[in-house]
Amino acid sequence: MTDAARHPPFPQAARVALADSQLRHNLGHATHTIRAKRAEVVAEVPDWEQLREAGRALKERVLRHLDHYLLELESAVRAAGGEVHWARDAEEGNRIVGDIVAAHGVDEVVKSKSLTTEETKLNEALAERGIRAWETDLAQLIIQLGDDMPSHILVPAIHKNRAQIRELFMSKLDDVPPDLSDDPRELAETARRHLRKLFLNTRVGISGVNFAVAETGTVSVVESEGNGRMCTTLPEVLISVMGIEKIVPAWQDLEVYMQLLPRSSTAERMNPYTSLWTGVSEGDGPREFHLVLLDNGRTNVLADQTGRQALNCIRCSACLNVCPVYERTGGHAYGSTYPGPIGAILTPLLSGLEDAGSLPYASSLCGACYEVCPVKINIPEVLVHLRHQAVQRSAAAGGWRGRLSGERLAMRAMARVFANRRLYEAAQRSGRLAQWPLVHGGKIERLPGPLAGWSSMRDLPPVPRQSFRDWWRNRS
Binding to other proteins in span 216-245, by CB under 8 A: 216-218, 224-227, 229-230, 233-234, 244
As a whole number of angstroms, the distance between CA 417 and CA 411 comes to 10
Among 73, 87, 125, 239, binds other proteins (CB under 8 A): 87
295 binds other proteins (CB under 8 A): yes
User: Closest approach of Cβ 396 to other proteins, in Å?
Assistant: 23
DSSP string covering 332-390, please? Answer: GGG-SSS-HHHHHHHHHHHH-HHHHTTGGGS-----HHHHH-TT---HHHHHHHHHHHH
**Binding residues for other proteins, total number by CB under 8 A:** 100
458 binds other proteins (CB under 8 A): no
User: Closest approach of Cβ 50 to other proteins, in Å?
Assistant: 4
Q: Which residue's CB is nearer to other proteins, number 13 or number 314?
A: 314
Q: Pick the closest to residue 362 from 15, 113, 3 (CA basis).
A: 15
User: Closest approach of Cβ 4 to other proteins, in Å?
Assistant: 21
For 95, counting Cβ atoms within 10 Å of its Cβ (0-12 exposed, 13-18 middle, 19+ buried), the class is middle
Among 80, 391, 444, 460, binds other proteins (CB under 8 A): 80
321 binds other proteins (CB under 8 A): no
| Segment near other proteins (CB under 8 A); pick from 199-207, 358-366, 392-400, 420-428 | 199-207
User: Closest approach of Cβ 470 to other proteins, in Å?
Assistant: 47
User: Closest approach of Cβ 92 to other proteins, in Å?
Assistant: 6
Q: What is the DSSP letter of 281?
A: B
HSE-up of 187 (CA within 13 Å, CB side)? Answer: 19
In the beta sheet, which residues pair with residue 178?
Answer: none
Of residues 177-196, which lie at the interface with other proteins (CB under 8 A)? 184-185, 187-188, 191-192, 195-196
306 binds other proteins (CB under 8 A): no
251 binds other proteins (CB under 8 A): yes
350 binds other proteins (CB under 8 A): no
As a whole number of angstroms, the distance between CA 443 and CA 227 comes to 56
Of residues 418-437, which lie at the interface with other proteins (CB under 8 A)? none
Report residue 204: phi and psi, to 5°: -125, 130
Of residues 102-161, which lie at the interface with other proteins (CB under 8 A)? 136-139, 142, 155-158, 161
User: Closest approach of Cβ 323 to other proteins, in Å?
Assistant: 18
Q: Which residue's CB is nearer to other proteins, number 269 or number 446?
A: 269
As a whole number of angstroms, the distance between CA 238 and CA 72 comes to 21
Among 120, 207, 240, 278, binds other proteins (CB under 8 A): 278
Q: Which residue's CB is nearer to other proteins, number 192 or number 387?
A: 192
User: Closest approach of Cβ 191 to other proteins, in Å?
Assistant: 7
Q: Which residue's CB is nearer to other proteins, number 276 or number 391?
A: 276
Cα→Cα distances 63→68, 141, 341, 451, Å: 10, 33, 21, 44
Report residue 467: phi and psi, to 5°: -85, 165
Q: Which residue's CB is nearer to other proteins, number 47 or number 459?
A: 47
268 binds other proteins (CB under 8 A): yes
Report CA dihedral (281, 286, 290, 294) to the nearest 10 degrees. -100
CB 175 within 8 A of CB 194: yes
Q: Pick the closest to residue 66 from 217, 209, 243, 296 (CA basis).
A: 243
Q: Which helix (H) or strand (E) holds 83?
A: strand 83-87
Of residues 5-44, which lie at the interface with other proteins (CB under 8 A)? 26, 29-30, 33-34
Q: Is 317 left (phi over 0), alpha (psi -120 to 50) or beta?
A: left
Cα→Cα distances 255→108, 229, 258, 273, 367, Å: 36, 21, 6, 15, 27
User: Closest approach of Cβ 408 to other proteins, in Å?
Assistant: 30
3-state secondary structure of 107: coil
User: Closest approach of Cβ 202 to other proteins, in Å?
Assistant: 10
CB 279 within 8 A of CB 289: yes
3-state secondary structure of 152: coil
266 binds other proteins (CB under 8 A): yes
215 binds other proteins (CB under 8 A): yes
Q: Which residue's CB is nearer to other proteins, number 135 or number 355?
A: 135
265 binds other proteins (CB under 8 A): no
Among 275, 309, 337, 363, binds other proteins (CB under 8 A): 275
For 409, counting Cβ atoms within 10 Å of its Cβ (0-12 exposed, 13-18 middle, 19+ buried), the class is exposed
255 binds other proteins (CB under 8 A): yes
As a whole number of angstroms, the distance between CA 33 and CA 11 comes to 26
279 binds other proteins (CB under 8 A): yes
User: Closest approach of Cβ 196 to other proteins, in Å?
Assistant: 7
User: Closest approach of Cβ 443 to other proteins, in Å?
Assistant: 39
